[in-house]
Amino acid sequence: MTLDPKTVERIITSIKNNSNYDFSNYSRKSLNRRLTRIITEYKITVNELCIKLQNNKDFLEKVVKDITVNTTEFFRDPDLWNFIKKSVLPYIKHKKNINIWHAGCSNGQELYSMMILLAENNILDNANFYGSDLNTDIIQKAKNGKYKLFLNETFNENLSKVFDNSDKIKSKYFDINFSKDIVSIKPNLLKKPKYFIHDLVKQTDFTDKKFDIIFCRNVLIYFDLNLQNKIFRYFYEKINKNGFLIIGLHEAIFGKELKLFNQLKYQVYKKIK
């Protein structure tokens, strides 16, 4: 089953009229998939859905969380992390105050991956980490830093592709409880990042700091080109001179926004000027 385009518009409008969330610029293909699933799982009609969105704030929040896709991994796309190690860290390692923002950080696995990379290169103490996401539950998961191992099938594989001594990395940064199937971030890493609920659609600031690296991976793919370009311009303003923007492997900067950045490899962009 898929929804007809008018129905999708009706649900988007209903969410928009009853909250601060605006999905008008989200790609219709992915929205259609998510909304169809919601309607099937909740066993309700479109009419009932729209009435509940209007009358029940908790339900609306739940639907918003169901719309967002939170898939993530530690060291997702290992080649990218090897590239960051070789070609990005040399530019920032001399800095006393390195600011890094993970926009759309999901449950924090990407952010903790970056912390580990910096720790292994002896520059963690100079860095400040910010993680943000639209989804309040997922930000709480990031703060908790506890993950089901079976959900992390790629955990061992990715670590061994980025580090020669991956067993040492595991015991240094994670507590692993095999009987409970839980991998936890060690407390010394866990206390460092600051997390924010933040909606990229609005492009508001949660800090007046500028960043040396902004990660925004596998988030923009859910937005239309117009919104993507607005966000690229916003990121450009928020990145320090010679700073980096890192997006997902299936995302790209097109058109006049591309003039703001030099494209390196693996969707790593360096701010021009």
User: What is the crossing angle of helices 57-67 and 5-17, to 10°?
Assistant: 130
C-beta closer to ligand SAM: residue 206 or 254: 206
* Binds ligand SAM (CB under 6 A): choice among 218, 228, 229, 267: 218
- Tell me the window of 4-12, 38-46, 71-79, 251-259 that interacts with ligand SAM (CB under 6 A): 71-79
CB of 47 to ligand SAM, least distance (A): 26
From 121, 117, 141, 137, select the one nearest 129 (Cα to Cα).
117
Q: Which residues contact 212 (CB under 8 A, 6 or more apart)?
A: 92, 95, 98, 99, 100, 239, 240, 243, 244
Q: Is 212 in the site for ligand SAM (CB under 6 A)?
A: no
CB of 85 to ligand SAM, least distance (A): 18
CB of 231 to ligand SAM, least distance (A): 9
Which three-class secondary structure string do you get for the chain? CCCCHHHHHHHHHHHHHCCCCCCCCECHHHHHHHHHHHHHHHCCCHHHHHHHHHHCHHHHHHHHHHHCCCCCCCCCCHHHHHHHHHHHHHHHCCCCCEEEEEECCCCCHHHHHHHHHHHHCCCHHHEEEEEEECCHHHHHHHHHCEEEHHHCCCHHHHHHHHCCCHHHHHHHHEEEECCCCEEEECHHHHCCCEEEECCCCCCCCCCCCCEEEEEECCCHHHECHHHHHHHHHHHHHHEEEEEEEEECCCCCCCHHHHHHEEECCCCEEEECC
Q: Is 88 in the site for ligand SAM (CB under 6 A)?
A: no
- Tell me the window of 69-77, 156-164, 169-177, 237-245 that interacts with ligand SAM (CB under 6 A): 69-77
Q: Is 31 in the site for ligand SAM (CB under 6 A)?
A: no
C-beta closer to ligand SAM: residue 93 or 146: 146
* Binds ligand SAM (CB under 6 A): choice among 32, 99, 135, 228: 135
* Binds ligand SAM (CB under 6 A): choice among 79, 153, 167, 199: 199
Q: Is 271 in the site for ligand SAM (CB under 6 A)?
A: no
C-beta closer to ligand SAM: residue 14 or 152: 152
C-beta closer to ligand SAM: residue 217 or 238: 217
Build a one-symbol-per-residue string for 95-124: x at contacts with ligand SAM by CB under 6 A, - elsewhere.
---------xxx---x--------------
Q: Is 32 in the site for ligand SAM (CB under 6 A)?
A: no
C-beta closer to ligand SAM: residue 133 or 257: 133
Residues making contact with ligand SAM (CB under 6 A): 68-72, 76, 104-106, 110, 133-135, 138, 198-201, 217-219, 248
